[in-house]
Chain A
Amino acid sequence: MPDSLPSHDVAVIGAGVVGAALARAFTLAGAKVVVLEKAADVLDGASKGNSAILHTGFDAPEGSVELACIRDGYALYHEIRERLGLPVIRSGAMVLAWSEAEVAELPRLMAQAVANGVTDVETLTGAEALALEPRLSPRVQAGFRVPGEHLIDPWSAAHGYLLQALENGATLMRQAEVLAGRRAGGVWHLATTAGAVQARLVINAAGLWGDEVDRRVTGETWFTIKPRKGQFVVYDKTAASLLGHIILPVPTKTTKGIVVCRTVYGNLLVGPTAEEQDDREHATVDRPTLQALMRRGEEILPALSGQEVTAVYAGLRPATEEKEYRIRTDLAEDYICVGGIRSTGLSAALGIAAHVVRLTARDWVPLADPVWPVMPSLTDCAPRDWQKPGHDGILCHCELVTKREVEAALTGPLAAGSLGGLKRRTRVTMGRCQGFYCSAALAKLTEGRLAQPMLGGSDGAE
Chain B
Amino acid sequence: MAQSDVLVVGAGPAGLSAATELAKRGVSVTVLDREDQAGGIPRHCNHPPYGLREFHRLMRGPAYAARLVDEALAAGVTIRTRTTVVALHPGGTLDITSPQGLETLTARVVLLATGVRETSRAARLIGGEKPGGVMSTGALQGIVHLNGQRPFQRPVILGTELVAFSALLTCRHAGITPVAMIEPATRITAYSPAAMLAGVLGVPILRGTAIDAIHGRTRVEGVRLNRPEGPEEMATDGVIVSGGFRPDAALLRASHLEVDPGSGGPVIDAWGRLSDPSYFAAGNLLRGVETAGWCWAEGRRVARAIAASLQGRLPAPTAARLRLTSDALRLAVPQMLPIDTPPDSGAATRLQLRLNRPAKGRLRLMQEGQCLLTRRIESLPERRITLPLPALRSTSDITLTLEER
Give the B-binding residues of A (Cβ under 8 A).
Answer: 234, 236-238, 281-287, 290-291, 306, 308-313, 386-394, 397-398, 400, 418-419, 432-437, 439-441, 443-444, 447, 452, 454-462
Shortest A377–chain B CB gap in Å is 15
* B51 beta carbon closer than 8 Å to chain A: no
Q: Is the CB of B139 within 8 A of A436?
A: yes
A-B contact pairs, 19 of them (CB 8 A): A237-B254, A284-B213, A286-B127, A286-B128, A287-B125, A387-B97, A389-B99, A389-B100, A393-B36, A394-B97, A432-B250, A436-B120, A440-B147, A441-B142, A443-B143, A443-B149, A447-B149, A460-B150, A461-B150
Find the A residue at minimum CB distance from B141. A440
Q: Is the CB of A435 within 8 A of B125?
A: no
* B153 beta carbon closer than 8 Å to chain A: yes
* B273 beta carbon closer than 8 Å to chain A: no
Q: Is the CB of A436 within 8 A of B97?
A: no
* B391 beta carbon closer than 8 Å to chain A: no
Question: How many angstroms from the CA of A392 to the CA of B98 in the assembled complex?
Answer: 7
Shortest B126–chain A CB gap in Å is 7
Q: Is the CB of B149 within 8 A of A459?
A: yes
Main secondary structure on A side of the interface with B: loop
Shortest B302–chain A CB gap in Å is 23
Which interface class (under 10, 10 to 19, 20 to 34, 35 or more) fits B?
A: 35 or more
Q: A441-B142, A455-B149 are in contact. Are A394 and B34 (CB under 8 A)?
A: yes
Question: How many angstroms from the CA of A419 to the CA of B131 in the assembled complex?
Answer: 10
Q: Mark B146-168, 1 if CB is under 8 A from A, else 0.
A: 11111111000000000000000
Find the A residue at minimum CB distance from B210. A287
Q: Mark B242-265, 1 if CB is under 8 A from A, else 0.
A: 000000101001100000010000
The residue that B84 contacts in the complex, of A397, A434, A461, with Cβ under 8 A, is A397
Question: How many angstroms from the CA of A283 to the CA of B215 in the assembled complex?
Answer: 10
Question: How many angstroms from the CA of A447 to the CA of B248 in the assembled complex?
Answer: 28
Q: Is the CB of B261 within 8 A of A434?
A: no
Q: Mark B102-143, 1 if CB is under 8 A from A, else 0.
A: 100000000000000110111101111110110110110111
Question: How many angstroms from the CA of A435 to the CA of B120 in the assembled complex?
Answer: 8
Provide the residues of chain A in CB contact with B370, threshold 8 Å: none
Shortest A277–chain B CB gap in Å is 13
* Interface residues in B73-87 (C-beta closer than 8 Å to A): 82, 84, 86
Q: Is the CB of B254 within 8 A of A238?
A: yes
Provide the residues of chain B in CB contact with A311, threshold 8 Å: 122
Q: Is the CB of A435 within 8 A of B254?
A: no
Provide the residues of chain A in CB contact with B99, threshold 8 Å: 389-393
Shortest B220–chain A CB gap in Å is 8
Question: How many angstroms from the CA of A309 to the CA of B148 in the assembled complex?
Answer: 31
Question: How many angstroms from the CA of A459 to the CA of B144 in the assembled complex?
Answer: 11
Q: Is the CB of B151 within 8 A of A455?
A: yes
Provide the residues of chain A in CB contact with B123, threshold 8 Å: 308-310, 434
Find the B residue at minimum CB distance from A392. B99
